[in-house]
Amino acid sequence: MNARIRRRRGAACRWVAAVLLGITVAMTGCATTGSPLPPEAKPLSNGTSQPSAVPGAMTAPSPSRTTPTPIRTVAPGTCADGQPVRASVDPANPMPAPGQMPPGSAMAAILDRGYLRVGITTDSPPFGSMNWRKLELEGFDVDIAKEITKTLFGTTDGRIRFQAVTTDERINTISRGDVDIIVATMTITCERKQKLRFSGVYYESGLRLLVRRNAGFTRIEDLVGFRVCSTTGSTSLAKLKNLPQPAPALVALERAANCLVAFQAGQVDAIATDDVILAGMAAQDPYTEVLPAAFDHALGNELRTLEEPYGVAMRMTGNTVSDDQFVAFVNGVLRNVMQGGRWKQIYDRWLGAELGSTDSPLAKNANWPH
Ligand code: GLU
């Protein structure tokens, strides 16, 4: 074998090794969407993530723990403008027919372009992840994005382009107009509503904690002196920063999958994020468990909600009439998805078989999206 062929073969081997390594790392966070989800990760009761009352919690903290500043100073679930955090624009009624969007609307611009641009999480099964067998993105959020595409174009074929976003990138990506919508386990918060528009809630998630099975941890307080991972820019990280002191050391990483890799490498001792994201991780790693009530004591009062209501995010362009029209359209899609049984199918496909049945946010709230 001459030196040139050896060099070429060496380069080819390095390339194959790099690809295999990339796939292995990515699959750590992506490959097991079909695996059973652990029952501990099921949605919190009553369709809200409000923890059960813990007598004396927060009102009588132990002397060694300081009481932190409240997250909100207004009534729970209400933003500074007096509106509920979940409130959104009324769904469009009637809805425009596919392919026939009102002239001049954001939807008409999407039709003219020929495809919908969607920001999505690619490493959070069962909400958004890459199926490496089919080489397709899949999950609850992917199916919601497809419903919006179908209502715009009458089909999804060739009409949807996904862009992977990390937790922290979501706000800038939509604000720059790089995508039309973000469907990426994104919690509706008052702070975010100052910069973006949100649909009504399409999934009620809640903050939970993943630990090694039989590690002896049941509450976040047990992790003082240990390291807890969360994603940069996430609501989970913001809530962890508000824990009473002494608190666990926080490690912020770019992606949920990075937290799982760090956890499996022994670099962190727990992961805090949304119940469904943790459910996806626990399905991939039999040596883990999702603690059902880790934050009840530390965050469980009305000013420290565990709720993580997901909404579709859209850009705030400065043209309120046009922005309202787009939000009303997306809410019309979500309303139809929730009323017509499609939400239930999507839920059952990705979560229901293992987590048990639950009603859609619309079925639980007659005033949805308010
Ligand atoms: N629901 C969380 C948020 O919107 C996402 C958490 C995560 O991506 O880790 O911040």
pTM summary value: 0.82
* pLDDT given for residue 341 in this prediction: 92
In this model, does residue 171 exceed pLDDT 80? yes
Ranking 59-63, 78-82, 170-174, 349-353 by mean pLDDT, the lowest is: 59-63
In this model, does residue 362 exceed pLDDT 90? yes
Please, which residues have CB within 8 angstroms of residue 187's CB and are 6 or more apart in sequence?
A: 205, 235, 274, 308, 309, 310, 311
d(CA 250, CA 270): 10
Mutate which of 129, 166, 231 for ligand 1? The one with the most ligand atoms within 8 Å of its CB, which is 231
d(CA 85, CA 305): 12
Angle value at C-alpha 336, between 149 and 346, nearest 5 degrees? 70
Task: Band the pLDDT of 70: cuts 50, 70, 90.
Answer: very low
Q: What is the mean pLDDT of the chain?
A: 84
d(CA 52, CA 22): 42
Overall CATH class of domain 207-304 = alpha beta
Radius of gyration for the chain, computed over Cα atoms and rounded to the nearest angstrom: 22
Query: Which residue minimizes the CA distance to atom 6 of ligand 1?
Result: 234
**CATH superfamily label, 106-205+308-364:** Periplasmic binding protein-like II (3.40.190.10)
> For residue 299, which of 40, 39, 65 has the smallest C-alpha distance?
65
In this model, does residue 23 exceed pLDDT 90? no
Give the mean pLDDT of 208-218. 96
Give the mean pLDDT of 303-319. 90
Strand order from edge to edge, sheet including 128-131? 123-124, 128-131, 136-138
For ligand 1, the distance from its centroid to the CA atom of residue 192, given in whole angstroms, is 12
In this model, does residue 185 exceed pLDDT 70? yes
Read off φ and ψ for residue 258, nearest 5 degrees. -65, -40
84-95: per-residue pLDDT in tens?
Answer: 999 999 999 999
Mutate which of 273, 305, 312 for ligand 1? The one with the most ligand atoms within 8 Å of its CB, which is 273
Give the mean pLDDT of 275-282. 95
Domain ranges for the chain, please list them. Answer: 106-205+308-364, 207-304
For ligand 1, the distance from its centroid to the CA atom of residue 277, given in whole angstroms, is 9
> For residue 223, which of 295, 173, 132, 277 has the smallest C-alpha distance?
295
d(CA 54, CA 203): 26
34-53: per-residue pLDDT in tens?
Answer: 445 655 555 544 433 333 33
Task: Band the pLDDT of 9: cuts 50, 70, 90.
Answer: very low
Share of the chain above pLDDT 70, in %: 78
| Fold match, 106-205+308-364 / 207-304 | yes
Give the mean pLDDT of 235-239. 94
